[in-house]
Amino acid sequence: MEDFLFTYYPFKPGQLAVWHPGAGRRVELLTDDDAAVFDRRWYRSSERSRSSTGASDSEAIRFAEVDLDAWWADRGDGAQFIAGLLWRTMERPGTFGCFGMHEWAMVYRQRTDEHRHTQVPLRLTQRATDAVVESHRIKCSHFDAYRFFTPQAQPRNELRPTRAGMQDNEQPGCLHAGMDLYKWAMKLVPVLPSELTLEAFDLARDIRVLDMEASPYDLRDWGYGVVAVETAEGKAEYVERQREFSRRGQLLRERMLTELERIPHLRR
C-alpha cells in the first residue's frame, strides 16, 4: 500500500526529508553548519552588510537561496511541461464516473499468477471480477493507469491516452492525477517550499487508500476497508471521496502554480 509511494514513484524517503525554502526566499546562515546544509546543487550563497550597534559599524550577513538560473538551465524544459500540465488540468472540469475501474481492468481475464499483487487475493472470483469490468463503461484518461490494462481490457477503454497527450487528457477528478501531484512536486525541487511537497505526499497517501479499497483486491486482512464499486452504495462512497480528493488536488495545483510564478523564465 504505502510502499507504492516509494516504488512506483522513484523518490527515496530521505529526499522527502530534505527541507527546501522554495524559490525567491533567502535563508540567513548563522553558522558554518547552516552553510553546510545548503551546500547543495542549485543553491547559491551571498553576503550583504547589516548595520550593527554603532552607526558606522556593520557586519556581513550570509544567505542561501535557490539559484533559479542554474536550476532552469538544467530543468527548465521539464518544469515548463509540468506547469503546463498543472494549468490545463486545473482549468478542466473533473469527471467522476470511472468508479476505479482502472484497477479492475489491470486484472481482467488474468490467471491468479498473472496478477500484479499476487500476495493479495481478489475480493471476488476471477469470473465475477471479469463480469464487473464487462458491465461498466470504462473511460480512463490517465496514461500511467491505462498502460497497465491487460491486452483484453485495453480495447474496452473509450479513450486512448498517451504520454505525449497528457496535457490534453489529464482531468482533476482522476485519482492518479491527484497522486501524481507528489511526483511533480518532487521533480520541481528545490523551487517549491517543502510544505507543499509534504502536502502532495499526504494527498497521494490518502488517495492510495481509496484506490486500493475500491480495487478488486481484498485488503481487509491488512486493516483496510472495502468500497464495493460494483454496488450502488459503493459507487456513491467512491464518488464522494473522489470529489473531496479532487478539491484538495485543485487547491494544491493552484498553490504550486503560484510558487512557479516566482520563476522569471516560466511561460504561461
Span 165-218, pLDDT tens digits: 999 999 999 999 999 999 999 999 999 999 999 999 999 999 999 999 999 999
Within a domain: 216: yes
Which percentage of the chain shows pLDDT scores above 90? 89
φ, ψ for residue 61, nearest 5 deg = -110, 130
**Cβ atoms 171, 94 nearer than 8 A:** yes
How many independent structural domains does the chain possess? 1
Please check whether residue 113 lies inside any domain of the structure: yes
- Is the full-model pTM beyond 0.85? yes
Q: Is residue 267 part of a domain?
A: no
**pLDDT tens-place string over residues 24-55:** 999 999 999 999 999 999 999 988 876 665 55
Q: What is the pLDDT of residues 82-125, one digit of tens each?
A: 999 999 999 999 999 899 999 999 999 999 999 988 899 999 99
Residue 51 domain flag: no
The rounded distance, in Å, linking the Cα atoms of 211 and 46 is 46
Percent over 70 (pLDDT), the chain = 97
In a domain, 268, yes or no: no
- Take residue 22 and report the three cell numbers written for it: 522554495
Residues of the domain holding 103? 68-260
Query: Does residue 265 sit in helix, strand or coil?
Result: coil
Which range has the worst mean pLDDT, 25-34, 57-66, 124-133, 228-237? Answer: 57-66
Cell 502554480 belongs to 257
Cα–Cα dist 144/184, whole Å: 14
Q: Which amino acid is at 203?
A: L
On whether residue 61 sits in a domain, the answer given is no
The answer to whether position 157 is within a domain reads yes
Asked whether residue 46 is assigned to any structural domain, the reply reads no
Provide long-range contacts, Cβ within 8 A and 24+ apart, for 52-59: none
Would you state the pLDDT for residue 1? 82
